[in-house]
Chains A and B, each alone.
Chain A
Amino acid sequence: MSIKKISGKAKLVIIDDIDTDQIFHQSLLTMHDPQEIKPHIFGNLEGFESFGKGNHEGEIIVVGKNFGKGSTRQQAVTGFLAHKIKAIVGESFGPIYYSNAVNSGLLLIEAPGISQLPIDNLDALEINIEDAIIVNLDKGNEIKCKSIPKPVLDIMEAGGLLKLGEGM
């Protein structure tokens, strides 16, 4: 598998400093099953409490600064994978969240300035991985994003870190 271009409808969650407890609350930590985790995503984020119960397949979530800061909570990644979202694009990500996402194959794209770019919910976005550009096809505007480091792409293309470990 080679990841070159990703497209999907925008879903805006542009709030800075969203903590993993707002993505998946600590009271649910004995849940292991992705399908059980799925409806609880953003369950503790004011204004987005019902997000997890909706259909978000194929969406590209757009977030603000420091998304996923807080606890080392794998479920806060797993839930988005269960929703089959295409990617999360944001100003910046908490370092542990970034690593957890890469390791299980959730694509995160850092795009400083994205929260200032005119985007509405359901706009068609296209991410060109090789050129590191995000295009809003509906608005006709675009923004540079940070390149995805090769080792990160290697892990994602291998199907996640655990697959790599099978041969080590």
Chain B
Amino acid sequence: MKLGEMTGLTIIEKIIKTHSSVSDEEIFPGNIVWINIDLVTARDYAGPQVVDLFQKHYSNSKTFDNGKIIFTPDCYPYGNDPKHAIDQEKIRVFAKEHNIQVTDLGSGIGSHLLFRRGFAKPGDIVFGADSHYNILGALGILGQGAGDVMLAFAMKTGKSWIKIPETVKVILKGSYKWPTTSKDLALFVLKKLHEYEITGQAVEFYGECISELSIEDRVTLCSLITEASGMIGFVPPDEQVAEYYRQFNINLELISADKNAEYCSELIIDIQDLDLQIACPPHPHNVKPIDDVLGTPINSIIIGSCTNGSATDIQDAAKILKNKEVDPDVRLGIVPATREDFISIHNQSAMATILEAGGNIFGVGCSTCAKGQYGLTGGKTAVTLTTGNRNTQGKIGPADVYLASPVVAAATAIQGKIARPKIRDD
């Protein structure tokens, strides 16, 4: 059935329907249906276990379609520890045997490569070993994180089960100005959605500000749905997304919810003149206006992750750091999300600006969400501010962790304490 022939469905219901053989009557929230998956991926965490499970249960089998599987090692980008090196090798050997593509170390975070390189397009369903695969909802792709068992099964069968979620229609009302950015928006929306309780639900974002958001901004917005225990947030694809996909010679049929789609509820979030926001320990949803914590001493800062590791994020930070010095007590680390982002910050001289200010630049990949990168702390004195998406107690280290935008991260790096940026964006 073609997208245009359906009625009464939300975005996720439409995507599920086009990937299953169920009747219209079976598409309703709460129902569990089997779906065909367009792309299955796994990374260097979980990937080795997926290989083990596949070999144990399906030893003499082929995968469902080796052209629809990619391994994306991104958690431990240096591979400089024997256990991790062996795990990564396991992926490469399996991939070679089954003729499966690997975006190997130095390529970047899998979820970002999927849209940066056009591996997935709006309307697709992709599963990977990453709880932030739902950032792909920013482009209208149904991305889902899955564990080892689901991925091994999906690599064999090309199928998965999915519980059709309820959808909340979220309308963002108003607009904001620099130095407020999409990260402040994402944090504020996370706080509201956590309070609203969206466990297991999908979200669709609407509002006049949406068309103003770049693809990177939309990714940032959708990246914190996981932290509210939501399933996925969608920004309905528009002409900007259609134009983006033309570089891959992909002409899109833009997916949208039907006018008579049934939402479980509608929530209006007022974002008019939104101020800078910061997530305080011990949960990502513990979001406060920056004034509540201004002046808090910080000595470890990371700009990166699938939430804010794009070239535009790093350039935002570089603007603040230009001709300034990082406080001598602060260690500032930059981790670009993908090789493409790394090349951009080099070409646009953000890289030199950051190095001259005293910041450090590390190889591309995930940052503090996985242990294999710069930014983990050992002791109780290393208080961290990161542009990432999780500050769960003890995840990065024993001390407190704050989440904020690249702009706030850069201003804080200069002052050695949580700070507002002092310069204008010009």
Q: Which residues of A come within 8 Å of B, CB atoms?
A: 17, 19, 21-22, 25-27, 29-30, 32, 44, 46, 65-66, 69-74, 77, 92-96, 98-100, 103-104, 149-152, 155, 160-166, 168
Contact = CB atoms under 8 A, between A and B. Distances in A.
A95 B199 contact: yes
B234 to A, nearest CB: 15
Interface in B73-101: 75, 83-84, 87
B58 A103 contact: no
Interface stretch (B157-165, B269-277, B317-325, B407-415): B157-165
Interface in B354-385: 369-371
Contacts of A27: 371
B149 A161 contact: yes
Contacts of B157: 165, 168
A17 B49 contact: no
Contacts of A162: 53, 57, 149, 152-153
B420 interface: no
Contacts of A22: 392-394
A99 B146 contact: yes
Given A21-B390, A162-B153, A155 B146 contact: no
Given A162-B153, A165-B157, A21 B392 contact: yes
Interface stretch (B176-184, B224-232, B252-260): B224-232
Of A65, A66, A152, chain B has the most CB atoms within 10 Å of the CB of: A66
Contact of B131 (A71, A93, A150, A163): A71
A32 B229 contact: no
24 contacts: A21-B392, A30-B83, A65-B199, A66-B229, A69-B226, A69-B227, A70-B390, A70-B392, A71-B369, A72-B129, A72-B147, A77-B147, A92-B199, A93-B200, A96-B131, A99-B150, A103-B153, A104-B147, A160-B149, A161-B153, A162-B149, A164-B153, A165-B156, A168-B156
A38 to B, nearest CB: 16
Contact of A73 (B147, B200, B227): B147
B190 interface: no
Contacts of A99: 146-147, 150, 161
Contact of A96 (B147, B197, B369, B393): B147
Across the A-B interface, the 3 shortest Cβ-Cβ residue pairs:
A100-B147, A74-B147, A72-B145
B304 to A, nearest CB: 16
A149 B248 CA distance: 41
B131 A17 contact: no
Given A19-B390, A151-B32, 12 more contacts: A30-B84, A70-B131, A70-B226, A71-B369, A74-B149, A93-B200, A95-B231, A96-B146, A99-B147, A100-B149, A165-B57, A168-B159
A26 B32 contact: no
A32 B52 contact: yes
Given A26-B395, A30-B83, A151-B32, A104 B149 contact: yes
A150 B33 CA distance: 11
Contacts of A30: 83-84, 87
Contacts of B199: 65-66, 92-95
B45 interface: yes
